[in-house]
Chain A
């Protein structure tokens, strides 16, 4: 396991570096000059040149890259071209909204998806099994902003029980207020996310239900619940965990639509604005932070899978010692 951890950590670091290189190059391949975003339309060529010099885009690419890496290694994400304010603190301020939003939505989605998916599989033949399955199918097809608008219409505009958007100015100073403003956004994301999770839980459960080992366990005298708990759950959870990792990572930045619908000051909105303004430091900063988050989530998902499934541990140990699978 230690060897695996070392290997996996090394892989994490290399991935991060490669991602940084790709991000940097891709951004500079985009059409459009950030100097244009800074100046009024009547700007003279001299003003444009001065603006390029000021933000450093007149230097050769390798020089820009090295100086950027240097800043990164000091955990300095640079200064926005447009606002002239440091990027790091703003990202941090936005994470205060985006991280709880993502995690809460994720938890709620799991809480919804696991029992529903299980029932949909266990009772696949019954009418409500089919209804649950059909509903989850529908949930996948529905756009997330529409769910958000629907919830706002019902709970904010008609019933008036929850705010239609916004986030407290003092962030989490009053956790009740913060949670209240996150309720509808969290439910919105969770509903849509759980729809696809239900499909995965359902099919993983179906596989387990039809498996030989479960039948054998039952034949050896285990109760259904006992067999499911001891053998079924572990097997069903393995594929679901890897999907969970991907879903969580997607939601992290994918929350942008929901942030906009609910007027939340999250990371996604900042990224979209950064793109519109060709604000490289802002885009780079957010993408580096989120890439790091995504890689960490993948790392965690891998570890969890390994803890759950001894076969994975063995196969990797096998790989390392060279005796194959």
Chain B
């Protein structure tokens, strides 16, 4: 990724040089370009406001995500989840105690934390899962060999494996054509909607959350996410593991 940025700059520099010498050569080759519409950040992060989120909103977020990414609904323990509801205790058992009253069983949204120091990326033997330079931990479904080392490596249970052919559990007429399904035998997870960011849109769950989920650049001190993290108390999951998760929960 750093490499590609360097390549791009190099390419741009060469293009500028070429253009100054011989203007007719400008863009004289077919090839890859970066889209002008894409949203850019130094470090994408998500902030989930547990005060604003309610059960109904969470269902909307889940529905939006799973619909957009053609995530099948498999009615057993070999299922696929990108974003789902989990009781507070299950997410923050290391930061809770016996007298939390009702909080313990309140459902929260759970998804990939897009860690700054992701164990899944470290353990993947083919670099099928990798960190982009904007911090998103992405899956390359073309390359995954299905060894599931990343699932053992993930301390958050955020990854799912396609035990089945997912098309068996998807209605052909209901498929969303803009995003592929997966094939049997690869691992998948939340991607912070990298493909939407690349075309200039915000992630599906953020759009569906009616303002309860914020998404922005953590390196920009004036971004929404930085502002709200300054003002309110927030948690991340299992901070002691040093994975540096980038999904923040406002309490």
A pairs with B: no
B: which residues have CB within 8 A of A? none
